[in-house]
Structure 1
């Protein structure tokens, strides 16, 4: 079923952060201080990754070998910490070939595309959906690299509080520097 989607490019997505943070009367959930703080942190994280990220050479080679059109849909939200560490990498990947187009869609806005890509029954983001030229899904990835997910699962099993989990994941992403994400996507792209 092909519903009309509201989508944006990376520049528009980053502009959304600015609009949220400048709004004197933000819409929910950004009317809560915690969500505004997440958005501010994530804007900073994305800016840092935009400047410093490096893609794995094997992945770049695979991306440059793509010879048929693909469309990538990235489902995210400005408040999502995992997304701040992955969306800049995904966008940089699309820039490596003229055959990959993309759009960014918000999880919490209609048409709620995330409902078709639940992770263990939850609306976890970010989510990457890779479609072929006909609009059929080739694969989807997300919400976080395997190592980060294992860390999250372990901490939840040990009943860690949200702040502890948040800091541990931030440290994981900073140490990993996108290597796991690049490796996982290289594997998914190489088997297509």
Structure 2
């Protein structure tokens, strides 16, 4: 496990989820987005993502198993999530992560922009890339990193890999559209299953206990 408190004092522009949403709304009005690249495509994605986030907020229901796991011990965790407003995966994941944190007294969520926090991002690359969203769970008292998650739910990423294998020439736009359809159908279930497995491992809770 990696002690990451070193990076915590250097975080740039840490936000709550409501603050991130307000920032996104302001940028949309200005015809901008977050991050280093202000392209028309990313600005367009940002507008789309605002609607996606609202839909996830309305539909999200925490699985009883995850809720029970998070209630088993007196947690004192910081959740740091690296994201950008233009990120389609982030729009599907961030509202669910925020809802879980809000419903769990022992978890404090901090939203961070990837491009403003390169040192932290470089500690949790995905196959060498700065894929987002990326969730970091650390012990709030010691700063010890307990787990990282991301950038996509395991079950959905498996579908992506399979689709690419079956259609090597698939256009990026078509792939993005299909991923969003999978997210809409999944309704945050794959994310929660990943978190159940990670939390169970950290808390050393056997699956038989979690399922009682």
TM-score by length of 2: 0.84
Structure 1: gaps (5+ residues)? none
Q: State the distance in 2 between where 1:47 and 1:135 align.
A: 32
Q: Is the 8 A contact 1:74 1:129 kept in 2?
A: yes
State the 1:97 CA deviation: 2.1
Cα-Cα RMSD: 1.7
- Say whether residues 1:53 and 2:60 are aligned partners: yes
Match of 1:138 among 143, 146, 150: 146
State the 1:11 CA deviation: 0.6
Q: Kindly tell me: are residues 59 and 28 of structure 1, through their superposed partners in 2, closer, same or farther at Cα, counting changes over 3 Å?
A: closer
Q: Kindly tell me: are residues 83 and 149 of structure 1, through their superposed partners in 2, closer, same or farther at Cα, counting changes over 3 Å?
A: same
Q: State the distance in 2 between where 1:51 and 1:12 align.
A: 18
Match of 1:179 among 189, 199, 203: 189
Q: State the distance in 2 between where 1:37 and 1:66 align.
A: 43
State the 1:112 CA deviation: 4.1
Residue in 2 that maps onto 1:118: 125
Q: State the distance in 2 between where 1:68 and 1:28 align.
A: 32
- Say whether residues 1:128 and 2:135 are aligned partners: yes
Q: Is the 8 A contact 1:30 1:36 kept in 2?
A: no
Q: Is the 8 A contact 1:20 1:30 kept in 2?
A: no
Deviation per CA, 1:62-116: give whole Å up to 9, x if none: 1222303111001101011011111111111111221111201111113542111
Residue in 1 that maps onto 2:208: none
Q: Is the 8 A contact 1:29 1:35 kept in 2?
A: no
Match of 2:22, SS state, is helix
Residue in 1 that maps onto 2:179: 169
Aligned length: 192
Residue in 2 that maps onto 1:11: 18
Q: Kindly tell me: are residues 62 and 131 of structure 1, through their superposed partners in 2, closer, same or farther at Cα, counting changes over 3 Å?
A: same
Q: State the distance in 1 between where 2:52 and 2:34 align.
A: 23
Q: Is the 8 A contact 1:17 1:39 kept in 2?
A: yes
Match of 2:122, SS state, is helix
